[in-house]
Amino acid sequence: MSLRRRLIGMTLLIALGAGGLLIYLALQQGEPHVGELTLYGNVDLRDVRVAFRVSEYVKTLHVDEGDAVTRGQLLAELDDRRLRETVAEREAEYRLRQQELLELERGSRPEDIDAARGEVAALEAELAEARRNYARQADLLAEKLVAQERVDAAQAARDSLAGRLRAARARLQRLIAGPRVEQIEAARARFAAADAALARARTDLADAELHAPADGVIQNRLLEPGDIAGPQVPVFSLALTNPLWVRAYVPEPDLGKLREGMAASVTSDSFPGETFDGWVGFISPTAEFTPKNVETPELRTRLVYRVRVFVCNAGNRLRLGMPVTVTVKPAAGARAACGPD
């Protein structure tokens, strides 16, 4: 009997121990981790309306909806024939104004000055002869050997040569002095205007190519070849995949558990068993009512604070608007490896 009683006692002890262990495990499983916070939200990102800076016909589109693009990648091109013609016209104007300025800055050529001096010397000799001729005619008139008309003609020839000599001397002085400062400054202004017009034409020609402003995914292709594009007419809608974040909401009682920089993990029903690393990047300073599209077990009428949780999107699998669950772990405060410096 004693052996039987001992066996029964041992069996009871084992049963009690197993039951206690099961109860303990059940309690541990149902108890949430201390300080861990669960939020619900949707994947969010920025999008850019990409447009040309100049107006012209669309010639070629190199990407389509859903294509991933990188910063600087060529997306589309315009018909640039008229833009190239404008550049050629501005280049010709630029060269003309450049030569005009060089001519004025270099001043008069030595050959021109020598020619002006020769003209002055010739006129001086002619004037001297005209003066002698007038003097002879005047003496002959005093002796009544010539008519008054010859004297008048000699005087007119003398005066005419004197006027031509004054003009030639003035022209020589202008050639020696060179262009006026005002003329040079005006030529410089015309050259600067031509230079600016050429730079603008070249910029317009370069803008006939549309490049991606950042890494992203083409969401919408809004124009087709043959359409008129312009600064107010977007060609593509580009979703910026970096950074990617989750827009979530935290109830006011849990606000004290959050701070910027806390590590977080993001899960989605689309990828069961997979976790995306992230961190809390922004907490709104103002409260708002819970949006209707947020799935949360809390009452929807209570005030919440908007939270932005940046997330590492390995393989670009998280999509815009996708509902996700965010678990914030205050104990692990470091950012994810893909976060900004």
pLDDT tens digits, one per residue of 69-98: 999 999 999 999 999 999 999 999 999 999
CA distance 180 to 186: 10
Report pLDDT for 25. 45
Note the maximum CA span of the chain: 190
Predicted confidence (pLDDT) at residue 266 exceeds the cutoff of 50: yes
* H or E, element range at 94: helix 81-106
Report pLDDT for 7. 55
How does DSSP assign 161-217, residue by residue? HHHHHHHHHHHHHHHHH-S-HHHHHHHHHHHHHHHHHHHHHHHHHHTTEEE-SSSEE
Report pLDDT for 331. 58
The confidence band for 312, taking pLDDT boundaries of 50, 70 and 90, is: confident
Report pLDDT for 5. 61
Both tokens of 273, joined, read 């068993």
How many of the other CB atoms lie within 10 Å of CB of 336? 16
Q: What is the dihedral of CA 80, 83, 85, 86, to 10 degrees?
A: 180
Q: Which CATH superfamily hosts domain 32-46+241-328?
A: Efflux pump adaptor protein, beta barrel domain (2.40.30.170)
Predicted confidence (pLDDT) at residue 109 exceeds the cutoff of 50: yes
Report, as an integer, the average pLDDT of 33-49: 81
Question: Rounded to the nearest 5°, which phi and psi values hold at 37?
Answer: -125, 135
Report pLDDT for 202. 96
Query: Of 178, 49, 32, 6, which Cα lies nearest the Cα of 108?
Result: 178
User: 């004197």: which residue's tokens?
Assistant: 162
Report pLDDT for 231. 93
Of 117 and 299, the structure prediction assigns the larger pLDDT to 117
CA distance 41 to 72: 32
Q: Strand 74-78: give its sheet, edge to edge.
A: 209-211, 74-78, 56-61, 228-229
Helix axes 181-206, 81-106, angle to 10 degrees: 160
CA distance 163 to 155: 12
Q: Are 44 and 318 in contact (CB under 8 A)?
A: no
Q: Are 249 and 41 in contact (CB under 8 A)?
A: yes
Report pLDDT for 340. 44
Query: Of 207, 232, 189, which Cα lies nearest the Cα of 83?
Result: 207
C-alpha separations of 311 from 100, 110, 123, 142, 304 in Å: 62, 77, 93, 119, 21
Report pLDDT for 253. 84
Query: Of 284, 275, 281, 292, which Cα lies nearest the Cα of 327?
Result: 275
- Which DSSP symbol is given to 256? G
Residue type, 211: H
Return the CATH architecture of domain 47-80+204-237: Beta Barrel (2.40)
Question: Rounded to the nearest 5°, which phi and psi values hold at 180?
Answer: -70, 155
Which of 107-111, 153-157, 236-240, 337-341 is the least confident region?
337-341
User: How much is the CA Rg of the chain, to the nearest whole Å?
Assistant: 47
Q: Are 312 and 338 in contact (CB under 8 A)?
A: yes
pLDDT digits (tens, 9 = 90+) for 163-186: 988 888 888 777 776 778 888 899
How many of the other CB atoms lie within 10 Å of CB of 160? 13
pLDDT digits (tens, 9 = 90+) for 269-293: 888 888 888 889 888 888 777 665 5
The confidence band for 138, taking pLDDT boundaries of 50, 70 and 90, is: confident
- Please measure the distance between the N-terminal and C-terminal CA atoms of the chain and give it in whole angstroms: 77
Domain boundaries, the chain: 32-46+241-328, 47-80+204-237, 86-202
* H or E, element range at 234: none
Chain-wide mean pLDDT for the chain?
A: 82
Query: Of 334, 268, 331, 335, which Cα lies nearest the Cα of 295?
Result: 268
In this structure, the strands spanning 74-78 and 323-328 are: unpaired
Predicted confidence (pLDDT) at residue 1 exceeds the cutoff of 70: no
The confidence band for 13, taking pLDDT boundaries of 50, 70 and 90, is: low
